[in-house]
Amino acid sequence: MIAEFQARLARLADAHTPEFLEVDITMPQAKVLHLLSMGDLSMSELVARLGVTLPTMSGVVDRLADRGLIARHAIAADRRRVFVGITPAGVELLDRFRDLNSRQVGDLLAVLDDADLEQVRRFLAVLDRGISRLAAAGKLPSQLTPVPQSAAPVLQGGGRP
């Protein structure tokens, strides 16, 4: 079932490939930006979370800093530890990814009729139950927050997207 789901997502994403390729960022860089979008981290925290070596992380951080997407800083309490934070330009880049994803889903939902949209609503409810079960079993990261109902305005109110 996973392969079938991924195949459909890939089909949907194919239409937006030129836009995606314009973003010009590697997957390791995207991962670092995503982590930093939740708050500043030390270099050692980035290394631990991504499971890479310090030299590898330093290279990724150097390239992101050179592009102005992140910035390094130290705190007064411990000048030896280097922290990394996302810049407004980095947030803007992540927003481009999110906007692209939202447009892909929006394009799909826009061509579904009300009966299909109701099935999507039920599917999302099933996913929510599964996520809740994973959370209860301690299988989700502690920083993962539940999706608020307002996060899916396209499906609210029973109307068209």
Domain spans, the chain: 1-111, 113-161
Of 2.40.50.70, 1.10.10.10, 3.10.590.10, 3.40.50.800, which CATH number belongs to 1-111? 1.10.10.10
The pairing of beta strand 41-42 with beta strand 70-75: unpaired
Q: What span, in angstroms and rounded, lies between the C-alpha atoms of 84 and 28?
A: 15
Confidence (pLDDT) at 157: 42
Confidence (pLDDT) at 149: 45
| Inter-helix orientation angle 2-14/88-110, to 10° | 100
* CA atoms in the 13 A half-sphere facing the CB of 120: 20
Confidence (pLDDT) at 11: 86
Which DSSP helix (H) or strand (E) runs through 97? Answer: helix 88-110
Confidence (pLDDT) at 23: 77
Strand ordering across the sheet containing 41-42: 41-42, 78-86, 70-75
| Inter-helix orientation angle 27-36/43-50, to 10° | 120
Confidence (pLDDT) at 140: 83
Confidence (pLDDT) at 143: 54
Confidence (pLDDT) at 74: 84
Q: What span, in angstroms and rounded, lies between the C-alpha atoms of 96 and 63?
A: 19
Confidence (pLDDT) at 62: 96
Q: What span, in angstroms and rounded, lies between the C-alpha atoms of 26 and 52?
A: 15
Q: What is the mean pLDDT of each run of 10 residues along the chain (161 residues)?
A: 87 78 86 94 94 95 97 82 94 90 89 96 94 90 51 42 44
